[in-house]
Amino acid sequence: MATELTEHSHNPLRDPRDRRLPRVPEACALVVFGITGDLARKKLLPAFYDLANRGLLPTNFALLGFARRDWGDGDFVSLAEKAARDYARTPWRDDVWDQLAGNMKFIPGSFDDDDAFDNLAKTLKDMGHTHGIQGNAAFFLSIPPAMFPVVLQQMQRTGMADNDESGGWRRVVVEKPFGHDLESAIELNTLVDDVFGWRDVYRIDHYLGKETVQNLLALRFANTLFEPVWNAHHVDSVQITMAEDGGIGSRAAFYDETGAARDVLQNHLLQLLALTAMEEPVQFIPSAIRTEKLKVLRAVTVPEDLASYAIRGQYEQGWLAGERVAGYRQEKDVPEDSSTETYAALRLGVETRRWAGVPFYLRTGKRLPRRVTEIALSFRKAPHLPFAKTDTEELGHNQLVVRVQPDEGMTLKFGSKVPGSMMEVRDVSMDFLYGETFTEASPEAYERLLLDVLLGDAMLFPLNEEVEASWAVIDPLEDYWAGAQPHSYRAGEWGPDEADEMLARDGRVWRRP
């Protein structure tokens, strides 16, 4: 009998694909650079507590923080405890926290401080004996990309990035943005891969850690119901939306240099597109899934008429949830003449045999009526309806909507006869909600992703080729938009009128979540 090839060693008595049993990493440490930032406080530290509370961290797990603060271990533990209490999703347990806090260390220093990095390297080496981590460590770069070179060089100088020298595995976690265009992305990828092997680089896109995004693969490939109609023969169009009702908060310096297209389209939405359009992988392993996603991203086409099919906007003051909110240019630290877009919508094509001719409409924006992320497939109408026109005038397209957030689940919309003596067909919906169907609450995205880093499971982390293929889509848009003023829309509206006109030009309308 042939032996199935897998990417990980496994117990010969157990199917390597069996993930019903909890997966717990081997003894290890995680070092967070930028531990005092909002990401660490609101996401990373609570995620570690929740993982520990669920019994998914090894007993010998050490968490090290590195930042330019005059702190001791006690100050760091106090900060971490407050963050965990404020943002953790699981109930508080003193015994869990005490065990986690007992293995926390803080290393003070700046990124150009050789002594601080020497101290960090020594601490990790000592923990190999005192904590039994055997040289296993991951490094989370929760820092601006401009600081990557100096940090990576320090890690290379001290040997902390070297698996052989450390005597265990070493991995690095990189937060988005992965560059600001294709050229900078290639430079960044080259820099990281020169210090860490490509297999040891984990690029986090937190959307890929959401339960409903992963369920998209189960929906398609574990059921015979959907896959036969998941193609251009049956699908009329696909809409992928990430709407936010909030503004930019305290991120003005970052956001005004970035904009909606670079901040969301290049990573989150193109990754959702790739998962929606990919072919079935030959195995449910990281390399197979990444290969199929990469094929999609390389097949994405940008419309020739960018004036009609690439729309960007910027919110003005308006009313949202009964409150008057300021326009983007009135936000703190935003230049009065800023031309940065807070809304972006475009039509893309996927030139594969499965999807040729099907438009993919992507949109994202801030200060929209509500916060929602969803993937909506609209199916073609029946070619012949044996009904009078008046019988079906209120019947729309059949739709399958995958809700990524906040009401995680799915909706199937189809036509049904209205009760009564007359023949009248209207749209009705069937809903599936995670929170109502399953008793266990869905973990936060960072819980899943951080656990996968420690396990060495790269399934949900984009390769550098995926990042570069995504920038190849976005760069022409940014070149076209350069120097032009965005269209305006009031806060509380679903974007500029030009975005509605874009779909009307194709005989379609945006779905209103």
What pLDDT score was predicted for residue 45?
A: 93
Is the peptide bond between 177 and the residue preceding it cis, with omega within 30 degrees of 0?
yes
Contact 311, 344 (CB under 8 A): yes
Q: Can 129 be counted among the known catalytic residues?
A: no
pLDDT above 70 for 16: no
As a whole number of angstroms, the distance between CA 46 and CA 49 comes to 5
Give the CA dihedral 106, 110, 115, 120, nearest 10 degrees: 30
- Residue 415: phi and psi, rounded to 5, are -90, 145
The model's confidence at residue 115, banded by pLDDT at 50, 70 and 90, is very high
| SS3 at position 32 | strand
**Residue of 206, 268, 397, 487 with catalytic role:** 268
Please report the pLDDT score of residue 354 as a whole number: 96
Q: Residue 375 above 80 pLDDT?
A: yes
Cβ contacts of 164 within 8 Å, gap of 6 or more:
none
Q: Which amino acid is at 298?
A: R
DSSP character string of 105-127: EEEE--TT-HHHHHHHHHHHHHH
* Domains, in order of start, for the chain: 28-175 (3.40.50.720), 209-504 (3.30.360.10)
Least confident of 185-189, 433-437, 479-483: 433-437
User: Locate tokens 């290639």: which residue?
Assistant: 186
pLDDT at 394 over 80: no
The CA distance from 454 to 415, in Å, is 47
Range with the largest mean pLDDT of 171-185, 327-341, 411-425: 327-341
* pLDDT for residue 321: 87
- Residue 5: predicted pLDDT: 36
Tell me the three state secondary structure of residue 237.
strand
pLDDT at residue 6 is higher than 70 = no
Partnered with residue 427 across adjacent β-strands are: 415
Q: With contact defined as beta carbons under 8 Å apart, do 342 and 317 qualify? A: no
Instruction: State the pTM of this model.
Output: 0.89
Q: What is the per-residue pLDDT for 287?
A: 87
Residue 434: which pLDDT band, with cuts at 50, 70 and 90?
confident
Rounded-to-integer distance, Cα 41 and Cα 80, Å: 7
pLDDT tens, residue by residue, 120-146: 999 999 888 888 888 899 999 988 878
CB atoms within 10 A of CB 224: 7
How far apart are the C-alpha atoms of 494 and 144, rounded to whole Å?
31
Of residues 408 and 14, the one with the higher pLDDT is 408
- Out of 386-400, 443-457, 495-509, pick the least confident: 386-400
pLDDT at 197: 85
Question: Over pLDDT 70: what percentage of the chain?
Answer: 93
